[in-house]
Amino acid sequence: MAEQLENKASEAEKLGEQNIGLQSRISELKIMLEKREKEIFILTKKLEDDNSETLAGMENLTAQENNLLLEKETLQAEKALLKENFSFESDKASNQVHSSWNLFISRRQN
């Protein structure tokens, strides 16, 4: 009986030591978990910030693209108008030259 008590006491002591070891390991794991959670939070925040910056950059580039397309259309319309004006003025000048030439010829013949 005394031997059983001694065995039980020895077993209880071993279990107590194991319990202390396990409690210590649990504390270490809790600290590691908190550290990892902080790292994950920081990385998640950085990712969200980067995504926001990327989205803002894309929106900015899209706005610039739209402005350039609008400017291109405006310049194409202006170019077409200038071509039309140039053609009109060229025809007008050509007609004036022909008229002047015809007037010169008709006066020369008289």
Q: Is residue 73 part of a domain?
A: yes
Per the domain annotation, does 58 fall within a domain?
A: yes
SS3 110: coil
Q: Is the pLDDT of residue 110 over 70?
A: no
pLDDT confidence of residue 8: 87
Number of domains in the chain: 1
Residue 60 lies in a domain: yes
The pTM score is 0.55
How does pLDDT run across 47-87, given as a tens digit for each residue?
A: 999 999 999 999 999 999 999 999 999 999 999 999 999 99
Q: How far apart are CA 107 and CA 18, in angstroms?
A: 129
Give the number of residues written for the chain.
110
CA-wise closest residue to 73 among 85, 81, 63, 84: 81
Domain-embedded: residue 65: yes
User: Is pLDDT above 90 for 3?
Assistant: no
Residue 17 in any domain: the answer is: yes
Q: Which H or E element spans position 5?
A: helix 2-109
Which domain does 15 fall in, by range?
A: 1-79
pLDDT at residue 109, as a whole number: 82
